[in-house]
Every structure is written in structure tokens, then in C-alpha cells.
Amino acid sequence: GENVEQHPSTLSVQEGDSAVIKCTYSDSASNYFPWYKQELGKRPQLIIDIRSNVGEKKDQRIAVTLNKTAKHFSLHITETQPEDSAVYFCAASTRGGAQKLVFGQGTRLTINP
């Protein structure tokens, strides 16, 4: 089955700097790659996703890139702010949507003022 590896497990950046989180997946049939943000004590919530027919997607300060050949995708956060502090999860699915999502281990991002 699908296996998703996420790095780093923790990341600390200065406010205003950029943060990058990387994930690799094993199943070449995977076609949907979302990113979820989980604030402390809260539920995970979708922040951005990308499908396999697209190489990059942006939404204001966040962007996701996908390299199907290498089977990896990354989350980029620019101009980080204190409210970006959270745990971020990448995920992959072969079903084109939320069904059978396999999640990475998570990255705890801390933004230092």
C-alpha cells in the first residue's frame, strides 16, 4: 500500500522567513495530495491541495509543488507569521480525493518572533 514520509519532524523559523516541508510517497498511482494544518488542541483542517495533473499551486502565502517523477511534493510558506505555528500533515491518495488518504508523520512548525 501507499507509504508517505514527511520531513522534518520539527521546524523552527524566524517570523518573516520561509518554511519548507517535504513529503515523499511510494505509490506511483497516487493522484491527490492535500496538506492539513492542526493547531494546538484543534482538529486538522485542509489548507491546500494539488492533483497529479498540476505541478504547482499557490494560495496567498502558501504553495505546494509536486514532482511526479521523483514522487515527492512540498509545502512552502512565505513571510511566516506567528499564527502559522502548528502541526502540518501531508497526505496522498490514489482515489483522487479524500477517500483512503494516507498521512505523513507530521511536522511541528514553530514561528519565533
Partner 1 sequence: EAQVTQNPRYLITVTGKKLTVTCSQNMNHEYMSWYRQDPGLGLRQIYYSMNVEVTDKGDVPEGYKVSRKEKRNFPLILESPSPNQTSLYFCASSSRGRQNTGELFFGEGSRLTVL
Cβ nearer to partner 1, comparing 43 with 113: 43
**102 scored as a contact of partner 1 (CB under 8 A):** yes
| DSSP code of residue 49 | E
Under rule CB under 8 A, residue 89 binds partner 1: yes
HSE (CB half, 13 Å, CA atoms) of 62? 17
Nearer Cβ to partner 1 (25/36): 36
CA distances (Å), origin 80, targets 63, 92, 113: 13, 25, 10
Give the whole-angstrom CA distance, residue 93 versus residue 23. Answer: 13
| Window of 11-19, 59-67, 70-78, 103-111 that interacts with partner 1 by CB under 8 A | 103-111
Q: Tell me how far apart the terminal alpha carbons of the chain are, to the nearest angstrom.
A: 41
Residues 32-61 close enough to bind partner 1 by CB under 8 A:
32, 34, 36, 42-46, 49
- Distance CA(53)–CA(3), nearest Å, equals 21
Of 14-22, 58-66, 67-75, 88-96, the segment contacting partner 1 by CB under 8 A is 88-96
Binding site for partner 1 (CB under 8 A): 1, 6, 9, 32, 34, 36, 42-46, 49, 89, 91, 96-106
